[in-house]
Amino acid sequence: MKRFILISISVLLCICTMAQEKKIIKGFSGGMMVHSGYQFGGDNPYGYNPKGATFGIGGVARLHLSDHFRTGFEGYFSSLGLKEDVVKGSHNKLFWTGVLADWYWKAGRFYPYAGATVGGGMETAYYMFEGDSHDWLPEANAVFNKQPFFAVDPFVGCDIAVGEALRLTIKADWLMAIRSTGLNRPLGPRIYFGFIFAH
């Protein structure tokens, strides 16, 4: 994962350098977003299906290489708190980051866009099937697992200009976490809300 991030940053820096020399950068945009969604499904040997509302935060940075094409990075952290069929305090967390490319259009104050992010991430699962999460006693029936994955994240969204440099944004995606055994789960849609600074 660290290797991938370092390589991705190096590639983006090279693109920036070449773009500045040839004056092909049309602009820059970046900002923060919070999100909420619904996750379901689980790949674990217990037959447990984690599901419920997920919440998280993250951000994006993009270079505008033409009047309609952008590329850059984004990364997010998403947490699904669990209490159905497990002890409260159990959770499933996802972190992912990667290189994005999207196409955008301008319609007055609106900038609709569609694209995808390709990168990697980590799923962290903690399931406690009995016991108490508020004491300091060892729990015999609990499991903790970390699983890296290859991430493909298609998305659609729209920026709304509210000033010369400030835009509000709304975005929807469906993260596909892929492992050597196939498509990882939990899966599900997310809706993002945030602000973007554009130049």
Total number of domains in the chain: 1
124 part of a folded domain: yes
14 part of a folded domain: no
CATH code of residue 110? 2.40.160.20
Q: What's the pLDDT tens digit per position in 15-52?
A: 555 545 555 678 889 999 999 999 988 777 777 888 99
Q: Tell which residue, 36, 39, 42, 56, has the closest CA to residue 126.
A: 42
Give the contacts of 88 (CB within 8 A, at least 6 positions apart).
81, 82, 133
149 part of a folded domain: yes
138 part of a folded domain: yes
The Cα 156–Cα 158 span in angstroms is 7
60, burial (CB in 10 Å: exposed 0-12, middle 13-18, buried 19+): buried
19 part of a folded domain: no
18 part of a folded domain: no
Q: What's the pLDDT tens digit per position in 94-153?
A: 999 999 999 999 999 999 999 999 999 999 999 998 888 888 888 888 899 998 999 999
Helix/strand/coil (H/E/C) assignment for every residue in 149-195: EEEEEEEEEEEEECCCCEEEEEEEEECEEEECCEECCCECEEEEEEE
pTM of the model: 0.82
16 part of a folded domain: no
Q: What angle do CA 96, 2, 76 make, to 5 degrees?
A: 20
Q: What's the pLDDT tens digit per position in 3-23?
A: 555 555 555 555 555 545 555
17 part of a folded domain: no
Query: Which domain range does residue 88 map to?
Result: 2-6+25-198
